[in-house]
Structure 1
Amino acid sequence: MTERAGWVPAGVDVGLPSAARLHDFLLGGSRNFAADRELGAQLLAADPDSAVAAAQSRSFLRRAVLLMAASGIRQFLDLGSGAPSAGWAPEVALAADPGARVVCVDFEDVAVAHGHLRLDADPRASVVQEDLTEPDAVLVSARATGLVDTSEPLGLLAVGVLHHVPPSGDPARVLAAYRDELAPGSLLALSHATGELAPERVEAAVAVLGRSANPVFPRPLAAVEALFDGFELLEPGVVVPPAWRPEHGARFEDGAEAEDPARAGAYAGVGRKR
Protein backbone atom coordinates (compact mmCIF):
# COMPACT_ATOMS: atom_id res chain seq x y z
CA MET A 1 0.00 0.00 0.00
CA THR A 2 1.35 3.43 -0.91
CA GLU A 3 1.72 5.74 2.07
CA ARG A 4 0.35 9.21 1.57
CA ALA A 5 -0.87 12.01 3.80
CA GLY A 6 -3.05 14.99 3.02
CA TRP A 7 -0.14 17.42 3.24
CA VAL A 8 1.99 15.61 0.65
CA PRO A 9 2.18 17.53 -2.65
CA ALA A 10 0.89 15.75 -5.73
CA GLY A 11 3.57 13.91 -7.65
CA VAL A 12 5.87 13.28 -4.68
CA ASP A 13 7.37 9.79 -4.79
CA VAL A 14 7.02 8.72 -1.17
CA GLY A 15 8.79 5.49 -2.01
CA LEU A 16 12.11 7.24 -2.73
CA PRO A 17 13.91 8.35 0.45
CA SER A 18 15.18 11.92 0.61
CA ALA A 19 17.89 13.55 2.70
CA ALA A 20 15.47 16.03 4.30
CA ARG A 21 13.05 13.32 5.45
CA LEU A 22 15.84 10.96 6.51
CA HIS A 23 17.36 13.73 8.66
CA ASP A 24 13.93 14.33 10.16
CA PHE A 25 13.69 10.61 11.00
CA LEU A 26 17.12 10.62 12.65
CA LEU A 27 16.06 13.60 14.77
CA GLY A 28 12.91 11.77 15.87
CA GLY A 29 10.56 13.86 13.74
CA SER A 30 7.34 12.87 11.97
CA ARG A 31 7.86 14.40 8.49
CA ASN A 32 9.03 11.14 6.93
CA PHE A 33 7.62 8.06 5.21
CA ALA A 34 8.05 4.31 5.43
CA ALA A 35 10.80 4.38 2.79
CA ASP A 36 12.71 7.00 4.78
CA ARG A 37 12.34 5.01 8.00
CA GLU A 38 13.45 1.82 6.28
CA LEU A 39 16.56 3.49 4.90
CA GLY A 40 17.11 5.13 8.28
CA ALA A 41 17.08 1.72 9.95
CA GLN A 42 19.61 0.47 7.40
CA LEU A 43 21.76 3.55 8.02
CA LEU A 44 21.70 3.04 11.78
CA ALA A 45 22.63 -0.60 11.31
CA ALA A 46 25.60 0.38 9.14
CA ASP A 47 26.53 3.42 11.23
CA PRO A 48 25.02 3.41 14.74
CA ASP A 49 26.27 6.96 15.30
CA SER A 50 24.17 8.45 12.49
CA ALA A 51 21.53 9.74 14.89
CA VAL A 52 24.27 11.22 17.09
CA ALA A 53 25.71 12.98 14.03
CA ALA A 54 22.28 14.40 13.14
CA ALA A 55 21.84 15.71 16.67
CA GLN A 56 25.34 17.22 16.60
CA SER A 57 24.56 18.97 13.32
CA ARG A 58 21.35 20.45 14.69
CA SER A 59 23.09 21.54 17.89
CA PHE A 60 25.87 23.22 15.90
CA LEU A 61 23.24 25.01 13.80
CA ARG A 62 21.60 26.37 16.95
CA ARG A 63 24.88 27.61 18.44
CA ALA A 64 25.92 29.20 15.15
CA VAL A 65 22.59 31.01 14.73
CA LEU A 66 22.74 32.27 18.32
CA LEU A 67 26.26 33.58 17.75
CA MET A 68 25.11 35.31 14.57
CA ALA A 69 22.18 36.92 16.37
CA ALA A 70 24.45 38.05 19.21
CA SER A 71 26.77 39.56 16.58
CA GLY A 72 23.97 41.74 15.23
CA ILE A 73 22.91 39.62 12.26
CA ARG A 74 19.19 40.17 11.69
CA GLN A 75 18.59 38.26 8.45
CA PHE A 76 19.29 34.61 7.66
CA LEU A 77 19.34 32.49 4.51
CA ASP A 78 19.20 28.78 5.30
CA LEU A 79 20.35 26.60 2.38
CA GLY A 80 18.94 23.08 2.42
CA SER A 81 16.78 23.91 5.42
CA GLY A 82 14.97 20.56 5.44
CA ALA A 83 11.69 19.77 7.13
CA PRO A 84 10.69 21.75 10.25
CA SER A 85 11.72 20.02 13.46
CA ALA A 86 13.04 20.99 16.88
CA GLY A 87 15.94 23.42 16.55
CA TRP A 88 15.01 24.48 13.00
CA ALA A 89 16.80 27.69 12.00
CA PRO A 90 13.71 29.98 11.94
CA GLU A 91 12.70 28.74 15.36
CA VAL A 92 16.12 29.54 16.84
CA ALA A 93 16.67 32.86 15.05
CA LEU A 94 13.24 34.31 15.81
CA ALA A 95 13.39 33.24 19.45
CA ALA A 96 16.79 34.93 19.79
CA ASP A 97 15.64 38.10 18.00
CA PRO A 98 11.91 38.58 17.32
CA GLY A 99 12.85 41.25 14.78
CA ALA A 100 14.96 38.88 12.68
CA ARG A 101 14.04 37.71 9.18
CA VAL A 102 14.60 34.19 7.84
CA VAL A 103 14.33 32.64 4.39
CA CYS A 104 14.57 28.86 4.11
CA VAL A 105 15.65 27.20 0.86
CA ASP A 106 15.00 23.60 -0.14
CA PHE A 107 14.08 21.74 -3.32
CA GLU A 108 12.45 18.73 -1.65
CA ASP A 109 8.66 18.99 -2.07
CA VAL A 110 7.67 17.64 1.34
CA ALA A 111 10.19 19.83 3.19
CA VAL A 112 8.89 22.88 1.33
CA ALA A 113 5.24 21.95 1.93
CA HIS A 114 5.88 21.62 5.67
CA GLY A 115 7.87 24.84 5.64
CA HIS A 116 4.89 26.68 4.18
CA LEU A 117 2.58 25.17 6.78
CA ARG A 118 4.87 26.40 9.55
CA LEU A 119 5.89 29.79 8.17
CA ASP A 120 3.17 31.21 5.93
CA ALA A 121 1.39 32.84 8.86
CA ASP A 122 4.59 34.55 10.05
CA PRO A 123 5.60 37.68 8.10
CA ARG A 124 9.16 37.38 9.44
CA ALA A 125 9.97 34.10 7.67
CA SER A 126 9.41 32.35 4.37
CA VAL A 127 10.41 29.25 2.42
CA VAL A 128 11.37 29.15 -1.25
CA GLN A 129 11.68 26.07 -3.41
CA GLU A 130 14.99 26.30 -5.22
CA ASP A 131 18.11 24.22 -5.83
CA LEU A 132 20.91 25.63 -3.69
CA THR A 133 23.41 24.83 -6.46
CA GLU A 134 21.76 27.61 -8.52
CA PRO A 135 22.75 30.67 -6.47
CA ASP A 136 21.32 33.24 -8.89
CA ALA A 137 17.86 31.64 -8.79
CA VAL A 138 18.01 31.23 -5.01
CA LEU A 139 18.92 34.86 -4.44
CA VAL A 140 16.26 36.15 -6.83
CA SER A 141 13.60 34.14 -4.98
CA ALA A 142 14.97 35.08 -1.55
CA ARG A 143 14.99 38.79 -2.36
CA ALA A 144 11.47 38.53 -3.79
CA THR A 145 10.19 37.58 -0.33
CA GLY A 146 11.17 41.04 0.89
CA LEU A 147 13.03 39.43 3.80
CA VAL A 148 16.57 39.40 2.40
CA ASP A 149 18.71 42.41 1.55
CA THR A 150 22.19 41.33 0.51
CA SER A 151 23.49 44.88 0.80
CA GLU A 152 23.39 44.34 4.57
CA PRO A 153 25.20 41.64 6.61
CA LEU A 154 23.45 38.29 6.44
CA GLY A 155 23.79 34.92 8.14
CA LEU A 156 24.27 32.24 5.48
CA LEU A 157 23.63 28.71 6.73
CA ALA A 158 24.97 25.70 4.83
CA VAL A 159 24.76 23.12 7.58
CA GLY A 160 24.92 19.45 6.59
CA VAL A 161 24.04 20.10 2.97
CA LEU A 162 27.06 20.71 0.72
CA HIS A 163 28.19 17.10 1.08
CA HIS A 164 25.19 16.24 -1.11
CA VAL A 165 26.79 18.20 -3.97
CA PRO A 166 28.91 15.88 -6.15
CA PRO A 167 32.40 16.86 -7.30
CA SER A 168 30.95 17.72 -10.72
CA GLY A 169 28.72 20.27 -8.97
CA ASP A 170 31.79 22.07 -7.56
CA PRO A 171 30.52 23.13 -4.10
CA ALA A 172 33.38 25.64 -3.75
CA ARG A 173 32.17 27.43 -6.88
CA VAL A 174 28.59 27.38 -5.64
CA LEU A 175 29.51 28.84 -2.27
CA ALA A 176 31.75 31.46 -3.86
CA ALA A 177 28.77 32.70 -5.89
CA TYR A 178 26.82 33.30 -2.68
CA ARG A 179 29.84 34.89 -1.00
CA ASP A 180 30.28 37.39 -3.80
CA GLU A 181 26.72 38.65 -3.27
CA LEU A 182 27.04 39.06 0.50
CA ALA A 183 27.86 42.31 2.27
CA PRO A 184 31.10 42.49 4.29
CA GLY A 185 30.46 41.36 7.85
CA SER A 186 28.15 38.56 6.74
CA LEU A 187 28.65 35.24 8.53
CA LEU A 188 28.75 31.75 7.03
CA ALA A 189 28.01 28.65 9.14
CA LEU A 190 28.94 25.41 7.43
CA SER A 191 29.22 21.74 8.32
CA HIS A 192 30.24 18.94 6.01
CA ALA A 193 30.63 15.16 6.21
CA THR A 194 34.14 13.70 6.18
CA GLY A 195 35.60 10.22 5.94
CA GLU A 196 38.85 11.15 7.68
CA LEU A 197 37.80 10.56 11.27
CA ALA A 198 35.96 7.24 11.09
CA PRO A 199 36.55 5.96 7.54
CA GLU A 200 34.95 2.52 7.84
CA ARG A 201 31.81 3.86 9.50
CA VAL A 202 31.42 6.72 7.03
CA GLU A 203 32.07 4.42 4.06
CA ALA A 204 29.25 2.17 5.25
CA ALA A 205 26.92 5.16 5.66
CA VAL A 206 27.80 6.49 2.21
CA ALA A 207 26.94 3.12 0.68
CA VAL A 208 23.50 3.17 2.32
CA LEU A 209 22.79 6.78 1.40
CA GLY A 210 23.70 6.02 -2.19
CA ARG A 211 20.29 4.33 -2.37
CA SER A 212 18.50 7.60 -1.60
CA ALA A 213 17.69 10.59 -3.79
CA ASN A 214 20.59 12.46 -2.16
CA PRO A 215 23.87 10.54 -1.99
CA VAL A 216 26.71 11.88 0.15
CA PHE A 217 30.22 12.88 -0.93
CA PRO A 218 32.46 13.23 2.16
CA ARG A 219 35.46 15.57 1.88
CA PRO A 220 38.72 15.96 3.82
CA LEU A 221 39.52 18.79 6.19
CA ALA A 222 41.52 20.73 3.60
CA ALA A 223 38.56 20.71 1.17
CA VAL A 224 36.14 21.85 3.88
CA GLU A 225 38.47 24.64 4.94
CA ALA A 226 38.74 25.71 1.28
CA LEU A 227 34.97 26.29 1.24
CA PHE A 228 35.62 29.25 3.55
CA ASP A 229 37.68 31.05 0.90
CA GLY A 230 36.96 34.77 1.26
CA PHE A 231 35.81 34.35 4.87
CA GLU A 232 37.85 34.87 8.03
CA LEU A 233 37.39 31.79 10.19
CA LEU A 234 36.22 32.47 13.71
CA GLU A 235 37.80 30.56 16.59
CA PRO A 236 38.24 27.62 16.97
CA GLY A 237 38.38 27.24 13.18
CA VAL A 238 37.10 24.14 11.39
CA VAL A 239 36.61 21.37 13.94
CA VAL A 240 34.22 18.52 14.67
CA PRO A 241 30.73 19.99 15.29
CA PRO A 242 30.49 19.39 19.06
CA ALA A 243 33.92 21.03 19.55
CA TRP A 244 32.76 24.27 17.90
CA ARG A 245 32.16 26.58 20.87
CA PRO A 246 30.50 23.89 23.01
CA GLU A 247 28.28 24.98 25.82
CA HIS A 248 29.58 24.27 29.30
CA GLY A 249 29.34 20.55 30.00
CA ALA A 250 28.18 19.70 26.46
CA ARG A 251 27.97 15.95 25.87
CA PHE A 252 26.64 13.58 23.26
CA GLU A 253 23.09 12.34 23.64
CA ASP A 254 24.25 9.03 25.14
CA GLY A 255 26.77 10.61 27.48
CA ALA A 256 29.95 10.16 25.44
CA GLU A 257 32.37 13.06 25.66
CA ALA A 258 31.65 15.76 23.10
CA GLU A 259 35.29 15.93 22.05
CA ASP A 260 35.36 12.35 20.70
CA PRO A 261 36.23 12.99 17.02
CA ALA A 262 35.69 9.39 15.92
CA ARG A 263 31.96 9.75 16.48
CA ALA A 264 31.54 13.00 14.58
CA GLY A 265 32.05 12.14 10.93
CA ALA A 266 31.91 15.83 10.04
CA TYR A 267 33.69 19.17 10.25
CA ALA A 268 32.09 22.53 11.05
CA GLY A 269 33.01 26.17 11.29
CA VAL A 270 31.84 29.77 11.04
CA GLY A 271 33.50 32.51 9.00
CA ARG A 272 33.04 36.24 8.51
CA LYS A 273 33.18 37.82 5.06
CA ARG A 274 36.05 40.23 4.84
Structure 2
Amino acid sequence: MSFNSREQSLDAGTPVRYYEFRRGVLRWLYNSSDRDITIGTQVYRTLRGGISDAGIRQSGVAKQDNLVITAPADIEVAEPWRNSQPSALIGIIIYDGHYGEPERKWRYTGNIANVRWPALDKCSITCRDIDAEMERPGLVDTYSRTCTTYLGSPWCKVDLNPLRVDTTIQSKTGASISSGAFAAYPDGWFTGGTVEWPIGQGEYDNRTIESHAGSVLGMLGGTLALSAGQAVRVFPGCDFLASTCHTKFNNLANLRATPQMDGKSPFDGDQVF
Protein backbone atom coordinates (compact mmCIF):
# COMPACT_ATOMS: atom_id res chain seq x y z
CA MET A 1 0.00 0.00 0.00
CA SER A 2 1.05 3.61 -0.51
CA PHE A 3 1.23 6.36 2.09
CA ASN A 4 -1.95 7.99 0.75
CA SER A 5 -3.92 4.76 0.75
CA ARG A 6 -2.94 4.08 4.36
CA GLU A 7 -3.90 7.63 5.33
CA GLN A 8 -7.33 7.21 3.75
CA SER A 9 -7.90 3.68 5.05
CA LEU A 10 -10.23 2.97 7.95
CA ASP A 11 -8.02 0.33 9.59
CA ALA A 12 -4.78 -0.13 7.62
CA GLY A 13 -2.99 2.94 8.99
CA THR A 14 -0.04 2.45 11.35
CA PRO A 15 1.20 6.05 11.78
CA VAL A 16 4.79 6.75 12.77
CA ARG A 17 6.47 10.12 13.18
CA TYR A 18 10.17 10.42 12.31
CA TYR A 19 12.41 13.04 13.97
CA GLU A 20 15.71 13.93 12.31
CA PHE A 21 17.97 16.29 14.24
CA ARG A 22 21.10 17.57 12.49
CA ARG A 23 24.16 19.63 13.28
CA GLY A 24 26.57 19.78 10.36
CA VAL A 25 27.25 16.15 9.45
CA LEU A 26 26.01 14.88 12.83
CA ARG A 27 22.60 13.20 12.85
CA TRP A 28 20.27 12.03 15.64
CA LEU A 29 17.40 9.93 14.30
CA TYR A 30 14.36 8.86 16.35
CA ASN A 31 10.88 7.55 15.71
CA SER A 32 7.67 7.48 17.73
CA SER A 33 7.06 3.70 17.51
CA ASP A 34 8.11 0.93 19.90
CA ARG A 35 10.92 -0.41 17.69
CA ASP A 36 13.84 0.77 15.56
CA ILE A 37 12.95 1.44 11.91
CA THR A 38 15.42 1.32 9.03
CA ILE A 39 14.75 3.44 5.96
CA GLY A 40 17.42 3.11 3.30
CA THR A 41 20.71 3.32 5.18
CA GLN A 42 19.31 5.31 8.11
CA VAL A 43 18.13 3.79 11.37
CA TYR A 44 15.49 5.75 13.29
CA ARG A 45 15.75 4.61 16.89
CA THR A 46 12.96 4.05 19.34
CA LEU A 47 13.38 5.54 22.81
CA ARG A 48 12.56 4.05 26.17
CA GLY A 49 9.69 6.22 27.31
CA GLY A 50 8.93 7.32 23.74
CA ILE A 51 9.16 10.60 21.87
CA SER A 52 6.16 12.72 20.92
CA ASP A 53 5.13 16.30 20.30
CA ALA A 54 2.23 18.62 21.06
CA GLY A 55 1.27 18.97 17.41
CA ILE A 56 2.37 21.19 14.55
CA ARG A 57 0.52 24.51 14.55
CA GLN A 58 0.17 27.02 11.74
CA SER A 59 -1.72 29.94 13.22
CA GLY A 60 -0.03 32.55 11.04
CA VAL A 61 1.78 34.01 14.06
CA ALA A 62 5.24 32.43 13.97
CA LYS A 63 6.07 33.15 17.62
CA GLN A 64 2.99 31.22 18.75
CA ASP A 65 3.74 28.19 16.60
CA ASN A 66 6.67 26.79 18.56
CA LEU A 67 6.72 22.99 18.51
CA VAL A 68 7.29 21.26 21.85
CA ILE A 69 8.74 17.74 21.77
CA THR A 70 8.65 15.54 24.86
CA ALA A 71 11.40 12.92 25.16
CA PRO A 72 13.37 10.98 27.79
CA ALA A 73 15.69 13.09 29.92
CA ASP A 74 18.82 11.39 28.57
CA ILE A 75 18.08 11.85 24.86
CA GLU A 76 21.44 12.56 23.19
CA VAL A 77 20.39 15.60 21.15
CA ALA A 78 19.43 17.52 24.31
CA GLU A 79 22.73 17.02 26.15
CA PRO A 80 24.46 20.16 24.73
CA TRP A 81 21.88 22.26 26.64
CA ARG A 82 22.76 20.76 30.03
CA ASN A 83 25.20 23.53 30.86
CA SER A 84 24.80 26.18 28.18
CA GLN A 85 23.46 26.66 24.69
CA PRO A 86 25.56 24.89 22.02
CA SER A 87 27.72 27.01 19.74
CA ALA A 88 25.88 25.97 16.56
CA LEU A 89 22.21 25.53 15.68
CA ILE A 90 20.73 22.05 15.78
CA GLY A 91 18.10 21.72 13.09
CA ILE A 92 15.12 19.38 12.98
CA ILE A 93 13.10 17.84 10.17
CA ILE A 94 9.92 15.87 10.91
CA TYR A 95 8.37 13.30 8.59
CA ASP A 96 5.15 11.32 8.90
CA GLY A 97 4.86 7.77 7.66
CA HIS A 98 3.33 4.37 8.36
CA TYR A 99 5.08 1.33 9.78
CA GLY A 100 6.21 -1.01 7.00
CA GLU A 101 5.82 1.73 4.39
CA PRO A 102 9.08 3.36 3.12
CA GLU A 103 7.28 6.41 1.76
CA ARG A 104 7.24 9.41 4.10
CA LYS A 105 5.84 12.93 3.94
CA TRP A 106 7.63 16.04 5.13
CA ARG A 107 5.82 17.89 7.93
CA TYR A 108 8.15 20.37 9.62
CA THR A 109 11.54 22.11 9.41
CA GLY A 110 13.06 24.25 12.14
CA ASN A 111 15.73 24.56 14.84
CA ILE A 112 15.92 23.75 18.52
CA ALA A 113 15.36 26.96 20.46
CA ASN A 114 15.51 25.68 24.04
CA VAL A 115 15.56 22.54 26.17
CA ARG A 116 14.13 22.15 29.69
CA TRP A 117 13.99 19.24 32.11
CA PRO A 118 10.58 19.57 33.86
CA ALA A 119 11.00 16.16 35.50
CA LEU A 120 13.83 13.77 36.29
CA ASP A 121 12.79 11.32 33.59
CA LYS A 122 11.86 13.62 30.71
CA CYS A 123 12.88 16.75 28.83
CA SER A 124 10.94 19.30 26.82
CA ILE A 125 12.52 20.40 23.52
CA THR A 126 11.12 23.64 22.10
CA CYS A 127 11.60 24.08 18.35
CA ARG A 128 11.19 27.20 16.24
CA ASP A 129 10.23 26.84 12.57
CA ILE A 130 11.95 28.61 9.69
CA ASP A 131 9.19 31.24 9.45
CA ALA A 132 9.93 32.37 13.00
CA GLU A 133 13.65 32.54 12.22
CA MET A 134 12.96 34.81 9.24
CA GLU A 135 10.94 37.19 11.43
CA ARG A 136 13.80 37.72 13.89
CA PRO A 137 15.39 41.19 13.58
CA GLY A 138 18.78 41.19 11.91
CA LEU A 139 21.94 42.95 13.00
CA VAL A 140 22.34 46.56 11.92
CA ASP A 141 25.78 47.85 10.99
CA THR A 142 26.21 51.30 12.53
CA TYR A 143 28.88 53.95 12.86
CA SER A 144 30.91 53.12 15.95
CA ARG A 145 34.30 53.79 17.49
CA THR A 146 34.75 50.03 17.89
CA CYS A 147 34.65 47.41 15.16
CA THR A 148 31.18 46.04 14.35
CA THR A 149 32.18 42.60 13.06
CA TYR A 150 33.77 39.59 14.75
CA LEU A 151 37.30 38.26 14.49
CA GLY A 152 37.77 35.93 11.54
CA SER A 153 34.53 36.88 9.78
CA PRO A 154 34.42 37.39 5.99
CA TRP A 155 34.42 41.14 6.64
CA CYS A 156 37.29 41.00 9.13
CA LYS A 157 39.40 38.79 6.81
CA VAL A 158 41.86 37.75 9.55
CA ASP A 159 42.97 34.14 8.96
CA LEU A 160 42.73 32.50 12.37
CA ASN A 161 44.45 29.23 11.45
CA PRO A 162 48.03 30.57 11.80
CA LEU A 163 47.01 32.06 15.17
CA ARG A 164 45.50 28.83 16.51
CA VAL A 165 47.12 27.13 19.48
CA ASP A 166 46.72 23.35 19.68
CA THR A 167 47.28 22.12 23.21
CA THR A 168 46.08 19.77 25.93
CA ILE A 169 44.25 20.83 29.08
CA GLN A 170 46.53 20.18 32.05
CA SER A 171 43.98 20.97 34.76
CA LYS A 172 40.59 22.56 35.18
CA THR A 173 38.15 23.96 37.70
CA GLY A 174 34.46 24.59 37.25
CA ALA A 175 35.18 27.96 35.67
CA SER A 176 38.66 27.75 34.10
CA ILE A 177 41.18 25.57 32.29
CA SER A 178 44.97 25.77 32.34
CA SER A 179 47.86 24.82 30.11
CA GLY A 180 51.49 25.90 29.95
CA ALA A 181 50.97 26.85 26.31
CA PHE A 182 48.83 29.83 27.34
CA ALA A 183 51.60 31.31 29.49
CA ALA A 184 53.72 31.86 26.37
CA TYR A 185 51.38 34.70 25.39
CA PRO A 186 50.83 38.04 27.17
CA ASP A 187 47.92 38.26 29.59
CA GLY A 188 44.68 39.04 27.78
CA TRP A 189 45.86 37.57 24.45
CA PHE A 190 43.05 34.98 24.44
CA THR A 191 40.41 37.13 26.19
CA GLY A 192 37.33 37.20 23.97
CA GLY A 193 38.62 34.25 21.93
CA THR A 194 37.33 30.69 21.83
CA VAL A 195 38.24 27.18 22.87
CA GLU A 196 37.17 24.41 20.48
CA TRP A 197 37.01 20.64 21.01
CA PRO A 198 35.86 17.79 18.73
CA ILE A 199 32.39 16.29 19.24
CA GLY A 200 32.56 13.68 16.48
CA GLN A 201 32.46 13.35 12.69
CA GLY A 202 34.58 16.44 12.15
CA GLU A 203 32.29 18.76 14.15
CA TYR A 204 33.57 21.05 16.92
CA ASP A 205 31.85 22.75 19.80
CA ASN A 206 33.29 25.89 21.32
CA ARG A 207 33.10 28.17 24.30
CA THR A 208 34.10 31.81 24.73
CA ILE A 209 37.12 32.77 26.80
CA GLU A 210 36.19 35.36 29.42
CA SER A 211 39.67 36.07 30.76
CA HIS A 212 43.30 35.09 30.25
CA ALA A 213 46.02 35.41 32.88
CA GLY A 214 49.22 33.39 32.68
CA SER A 215 48.42 29.75 32.02
CA VAL A 216 44.74 30.06 33.01
CA LEU A 217 41.74 30.77 30.81
CA GLY A 218 38.45 31.71 32.47
CA MET A 219 35.59 30.16 30.49
CA LEU A 220 32.25 31.85 29.89
CA GLY A 221 29.62 29.22 30.73
CA GLY A 222 31.93 26.98 32.73
CA THR A 223 33.92 23.88 31.81
CA LEU A 224 31.34 21.09 32.00
CA ALA A 225 32.18 19.57 28.59
CA LEU A 226 35.95 19.84 29.11
CA SER A 227 38.32 17.58 31.03
CA ALA A 228 41.99 17.32 31.99
CA GLY A 229 44.04 15.66 29.26
CA GLN A 230 41.60 16.71 26.53
CA ALA A 231 42.98 18.12 23.28
CA VAL A 232 41.64 21.57 22.41
CA ARG A 233 42.16 24.30 19.83
CA VAL A 234 42.44 27.83 21.20
CA PHE A 235 42.01 31.07 19.25
CA PRO A 236 42.94 34.62 20.35
CA GLY A 237 40.37 37.30 21.02
CA CYS A 238 39.86 40.89 19.94
CA ASP A 239 38.59 43.91 21.87
CA PHE A 240 37.46 45.63 18.61
CA LEU A 241 39.75 48.64 19.04
CA ALA A 242 41.72 50.13 16.16
CA SER A 243 45.01 49.83 18.06
CA THR A 244 44.46 46.12 18.64
CA CYS A 245 43.47 45.55 15.04
CA HIS A 246 46.72 47.17 13.92
CA THR A 247 49.26 45.84 16.42
CA LYS A 248 47.86 42.37 17.11
CA PHE A 249 46.46 41.37 13.71
CA ASN A 250 47.96 43.87 11.22
CA ASN A 251 44.46 44.26 9.81
CA LEU A 252 43.71 47.98 10.07
CA ALA A 253 42.68 48.17 6.40
CA ASN A 254 39.66 45.96 7.18
CA LEU A 255 38.62 47.67 10.43
CA ARG A 256 34.86 48.25 10.42
CA ALA A 257 34.93 51.19 12.83
CA THR A 258 35.22 54.97 12.92
CA PRO A 259 37.64 55.49 15.82
CA GLN A 260 37.89 59.28 15.29
CA MET A 261 34.12 59.77 15.29
CA ASP A 262 32.89 62.97 16.98
CA GLY A 263 31.48 62.52 20.46
CA LYS A 264 28.48 64.70 19.65
CA SER A 265 25.27 63.29 18.17
CA PRO A 266 23.37 65.24 15.50
CA PHE A 267 20.16 63.96 17.09
CA ASP A 268 20.67 65.20 20.68
CA GLY A 269 18.95 68.57 20.08
CA ASP A 270 22.16 70.64 19.99
CA GLN A 271 21.58 73.61 17.67
CA VAL A 272 25.18 73.42 16.41
CA PHE A 273 23.97 70.77 13.99
For the superposition of Structure 1 and Structure 2, which TM-score range results when normalised by the shorter chain?
A: under 0.3
Looking at secondary structure, tell me which structure has more strand per residue: 2
The TM-score with structure 1 as length reference comes to 0.24
Looking at secondary structure, tell me which structure has more helix per residue: 1
Which is higher, the Rg of structure 1 or of structure 2? Answer: 2
Which one has more relative contact order, counting CA pairs under 8 Å at least 6 apart? 1
The TM-score with structure 2 as length reference comes to 0.24
